A and B are shown apart, each in its own frame.
Chain A
Amino acid sequence: MRHDPAMGAQPHDWTRRSALGLLPTLGLAACARSRAPEPLKFWAMSYEGDYSPMLMPAFTAATGILVDVQSLPATAAHEKLLTAQAGGAMPDVLMLYTGWVQEFATIAAIAPVPSPAMVADLFPGVLDATRVGGRDFAVPWSVAPQVQFYRRDILARAGYPEPAGDWDGWLRMGHAIKRQRPDDFVFMLLLNWPDMLMTMLGQTGATMLRDHDTRGNFQTPEARAAFAYYARIFAEGLAPKALSTEIQDPVAAFAQGYFAIWPTGPTTMLDLHRRAAEIPAERWATARLAGPHGVGAVSGLSTSLCVSASTPRPAEAWALVRHLSSPASELRYQTMIGNLPARLSAWTSPQLRAPILAPFKAQMRFPATAPKVIEWERIKLEIQFAAERVVRNVQTIPQALAGLDTRVDQLLAKRRALVEAGTLA
């Protein structure tokens, strides 16, 4: 993928720039053709942050722009980014988890995508999460739906060539496995990871918020059903009541058969391949997650690329986004860290034809949608805390859901006031 540096300097890219930022940027853009003195700053989390430098030499070779990659720990990223925005210290380009995009767009931290061409050629539905007020604020980078990773050998012994696809079947299968392996568990649902519960809530049709997303709406039959099913898995001894800190090496636990079904995202494939000595490839496979009445939409930890609203070099920043989100870069990333490309055209590559990827490819077209409020990241944590209290028998489901509504109402108080005052749509 060659990137024409001139493309990044098209006139329409310049219009959003404030008059103050114009002069220095002109200077820098001029330098960039020879060799940029100041590297472009790019922040990314987790694996993406660690491996992004590998994608940069091609960009620098094509454009002459150097890129300085800063890797943020995923668990400290939200405060780091908000603090940088509040302190006026944002990088030029940044990765966001797709669920964070509307939050950062609302506080005007990121700029809208300049041309519709950049967000073409994507899986349908993925743009919903990054669209705020009718404008696109991010270029989806990877799509990471959850699927169930399962132990083929353990399931086969219990009479299941592949996992059940609906909730009742899932429990029946769980008990069949548990009968054979009473000392181990079947499912791994970590009590501090909200994705599975989010998927369940979405699949029962729980709306979660009401009154223009200004109040919690958890005391509904749908939310009760999702909570009840989630809690039942633990109550019937099919999943360990564990936090991620307690299962320090989930791959090893999966290899040892401590659990047989692991709902998780695509990067797990890479971990499993790397440790094939412990768990040979023929022992595991993937399938779409079970829903109340069969497969459906699921949530996951997808990533997006954004450009800071305050960057003095938007043209170069968007050029970098274009490079990173090109099918070639995304395919390279797939080999390196297992991320699945968001670009549709990348999926014609033979690299992505492995049967193990088919459930992901099918699932990618059905992302779960979350309410678009900037408090959502916090609310998600509160939902998970409420579920943990139910699982640990601290509260009953009605108590937990009532408490959740109270807490969410509290978190949304400011939003409610702004909506009532008409400041917020």
Chain B
Amino acid sequence: MALMKPRAILANTLVALLTALTIAPLLYMVIVSFMPRGESSNPPTPLWPSHWSMENYHELLVRRLIDGAWFDYRIVPALFNSIAIAAISTLLGLLLTVPAGYAFAKLRFRGRERLLKILIASLVVPGQVAMLPLFLIFKQLGLVNSYAGVILPSLAGIFAILFVRQATLAIPDEMIDAARIDGASEARIFVTIVLPLLTPIVVTLALFMFLGSWNDFLWPLIVLADQHLYTLPVAVAAIAREHSADGELMMAAAVVTTMPVLLLFLAMQRYYLTGLLGGSVKG
């Protein structure tokens, strides 16, 4: 045992160092966001604020009246847009894909196998292929520049259906058949028997959906024209183009964008990481 000690120290130190290195950019982002304006761009690069300042957050988040004109980076509205869009996407996404995943696993219907094959095969097609024509279709439907235009594509959860199906396959058929013999309706079976068993998977899926929607960038960038509808990544990308010199302000914007999901992830990490493994061995 005594011989193992240096090795244990080495391994633990190495892991701690790597973790510190990984977390450092996020930590530095938070630190810089509290620096007084302009401090971070004066070499030598400061590692710590000369004093902790809230001015970046104030400028970023508070609507200010200057000479009778309102100035606003619209980060707070973007935060609410992101929350609303991610929440609606998640709720509707679950509502649509969980029953479908169950149906593909446990309900017999004509064409099921063929549809399943098509769904698996379509995972190959990158979403960007559909993007250009989708814009033209959405224009015809009047969905360009609307919440619905952002949310609708995120509801086409092929992966989610397969994910739920995989988990549902583990539920023994006997349980469902017994309920059928008792005369329960299919909807009732789903709600009272299947859904409680699927709860952990549904939570995982909800997390995936929420984070996916929150971090989505390319499609919202294309489909949202009006700044009042911008999600956080789109709003931050727009500010970042013109304010790259304002390091502290941009770090504050990055904190607002990353922290909500980071905290959500830390709180729910058990569901997330186990779900990730479930998803990676899809079949």
Contact = CB atoms under 8 A, between A and B. Distances in A.
Contacts, number: 54
Interface in B197-243: 222-223, 225-228, 238, 241-242
Contact of A57 (B68, B71, B136): B68
B241 A89 contact: no
A326 B222 CA distance: 34
A54 B226 contact: no
A74 interface: yes
B135 interface: yes
Contacts of A75: 241
Nearest to B138: A87
Given A53-B70, A57-B69, A87-B145, A76 B238 contact: yes
A87 B241 contact: no
Interface in A73-94: 73-76, 80, 83-84, 86-90
B69 A53 contact: yes
B66 interface: yes
A404 interface: no
B144 interface: yes
Given A57-B68, A57-B69, A87-B145, A80 B225 contact: yes
B174 interface: no
The number of chain A residues touching the other chain, given as a range, is 20 to 34
Contacts of A76: 238, 241
Contact of A89 (B66, B68, B70, B144): B144
B139 interface: yes
Query: A55, A75, A89, A249: which has the most chain B beta carbons within 10 Å?
Result: A89
B182 interface: no
A50 B242 contact: yes
A88 B225 CA distance: 10
A87 B241 CA distance: 23
Given A87-B135, A88-B142, 14 more contacts: A53-B70, A57-B67, A57-B69, A68-B228, A70-B226, A71-B238, A73-B242, A83-B135, A83-B222, A87-B144, A87-B225, A88-B144, A89-B144, A89-B225
Interface of B: 66-71, 135-136, 138-139, 142, 144-145, 222-223, 225-228, 238, 241-242, 245
Interface of A: 41, 46, 50, 53-57, 68, 70-76, 80, 83-84, 86-90, 249
Closest 4 CB pairs of A and B: A73-B241, A87-B144, A89-B225, A57-B68
